[in-house]
Amino acid sequence: MLTGKKIVLGITGSIAAYKAAVLCRALIKRGAEVQVVITPAGKEFITPVTLSALTQKPVVSAFFTANDGTWNSHVDLGLWADLMLIAPATAATIGKIANGVADNMLVTTYLSMKAPVFVAPAMDLDMYAHPATQRNLERLKSYGNHIIEPGTGLLASNLDGKGRMEEPDRIVNRIERFFEKEKELAGNKVLITAGPTQEKIDPVRYISNYSSGKMGFALAEECAGRGAEVFLVSGPVERTTVHPRIKRIDVETAEEMYQAAASHFPEATIAILCAAVADYRPAQYSKNKLKRQAAPALSLELTPNPDIAAALGEAKKNGQLLMGFALETENELSNAQAKLRKKNLDFIVLNSLQDRGAGFRGDTNKVTVMDAEGNASPFPLKSKSEVAADLVDLLVNKKRTTE
Ligand code: C5P
């Protein structure tokens, strides 16, 4: 249900605007309060009278109401809403909001919006496939906006392809699920470590590994989307976070990662240790660049780094859940199981380097999750964000059954 949820429905000039009435009705039926903001072109496709009758509110389209000069405040709408949905979203509006071209009430409302934004594109297949549209959609995703992918089928142009606005019922289901998910970890603080660590040898060199941080960052977005406050302790990676509930703490070395993780762990109800922490660091840091030597070999003495997972496992209290990762190249299941026990984890996520598409750098992962009770669940190859959703499902279920 959407009881009490305030939704700004943005409607733009696409033939799919005729479906906006059904969408409006479906949102209201499930308990939402809807305020329509329509572009001038949108009004050519559906009349504001229909929409205001359905929503019981005047439809907002211009900055001022012409006859009495009333100012329509986009800023107030941005603060009022629990969610903004732009459906249908034309290529023009997608381009404007992606680039901040604030020449109508809908775009200014979007730019003032404090709430999550969902965008349901509707256009001809070639316009949808055009790199300009795709780049704009990617840009919207990078702002944290949610794209409701269009369907494939017969289009108004009589062409067949991808570009049909998603069906109103499915859009509403997606929004309902979004609000439901936000409750699953509400009130929880989740600590996540991600990426590699860099262990300095001298001012220009370090020891590190191939970790990209993708899995840890996907987990951070997923936990934040479930309502948790996330502390993401990340080693050096070229990644950005999107969700406003993620607080990122950047570190370089294992020692710094350990300090940051240990200081946030006491307030966390869940910790996910996804980082590929260097097991060793150079015993001595050379302030000056090491020079090539005449002797044939150079030995570097290494000293062990703190094991963050093991330290948190030791400090773990009732009500705290710990998930670790294991990247194994041999005896995968038994090595991972032993690690789970040794580090006092509740779950260990095994990715094997022998599986194609699993592990470092790629956008996909194939994992087997083992729990402290000895159960092993293998998952198929999926995108890292889908894997993140599976892993967080396990944590949410575990919390439910233990609370
Ligand atoms: O022992 P191993 O490195 O294989 O264990 C992997 C798990 O332990 C991962 O969850 C990793 O993030 C964590 N770990 C850690 N600190 C270390 C080494 C590993 O937190 N120094």
Give 131-154 pLDDT, tens digit per residue. 999 999 999 999 999 999 999 988
CATH number of 6-181: 3.40.50.1950
Q: Which residues line ligand 1 (CB under 6 A)?
A: 193, 254, 273-275, 277, 279, 305, 307-309, 324-326, 339
Residue nearest to atom 6 of ligand 1 (CA): 326
pLDDT bucket at 66, cuts 50 / 70 / 90: confident
Cα–Cα dist 246/234, whole Å? 12
Q: 251: Cβ–Cβ under 8 A, 6 or more apart, which residues?
A: 197, 233, 234, 235, 257, 259, 260
Average pLDDT over residues 46-56: 96
Domain with CATH 3.40.50.1950 in the chain: 6-181
Q: How confident is the model at residue 71 (pLDDT cuts 50, 70, 90)?
A: confident
209 counts as catalytic = yes
Residue 128 to residue 149: CA distance in whole angstroms: 10
- The whole-angstrom separation of Cα 144 and Cα 40 is 26
Q: What is the pLDDT of residues 362-383, one digit of tens each?
A: 788 889 999 999 899 999 999 9
CA of 346 to the centre of ligand 1 (A): 14
pLDDT at 364: 85
Atom number in ligand 1 closest to CA 323: 10
Residue nearest to atom 5 of ligand 1 (CA): 326
Domain span(s) for CATH 3.40.50.10300 in the chain: 189-281+300-402
What integer best gives the mean pLDDT of the chain?
A: 94
Please tell me the CATH code under which domain 189-281+300-402 is placed: 3.40.50.10300
For the whole prediction, is pTM greater than 0.95?
no
Q: Report residue 359's pLDDT band, with 50, 70 and 90 as the boundaries.
A: low
Q: For position 178, what pLDDT does the model report?
A: 97
Lowest mean pLDDT among 17-26, 242-251, 365-374: 365-374
